[in-house]
Every structure is written in structure tokens, then in C-alpha cells.
Amino acid sequence: MTEEKKGVKELERELANARAEQYAHHSRNATKNRDYSVGGIDPNAVEKKSPDTRDVPDAILLPKKKRSRTPNNPWG
């Protein structure tokens, strides 16, 4: 097909494809790798529980801190 015989629809479609390709070319950005699990957890690690008041003689410990139930809020 020559340029004169192409209809308006084909020309609009070609223009849309060209614009999409140009936008895709300019919008490609390098993304950062946010995977911080390179080191991982020590395979020999053992879970250590904090001592309770009855485990330590003559110790008065503060009550355990309640975890907040609001997600993504570092202050409360």
C-alpha cells in the first residue's frame, strides 16, 4: 500500500503505535532491587524468649509492651 491509498483509520493506528513505542522507550527506568535478604537468617539461630518475672528472683519487670494494631504506622 502506498501512503495515498491508506485510510484515516490506518494512519491513526500507525500514529498511535508510534506514540506508544516512543512513550515506552522514554518511560523505561532502571528499578532498584529492594531485596535485602542476601544474608538471610543464621541457620543455627535459636529463638530466645525474654525472661518472665517469675523466672528471675527479686526482679520487678515492666509489663510487656502491646503491639499496635494499625498497619504501616510507625508511631502507634
pLDDT tens, 24-75? 877 777 777 777 666 777 778 888 887 776 777 777 777 777 776 777 777 7
What is the per-residue pLDDT for 35? 73
| Grid coordinates of 30 | 532502571
| Grid coordinates of 46 | 535459636
Calpha distance 72→76 (Å, rounded): 9
Q: Quick check: pTM over 0.75? A: no
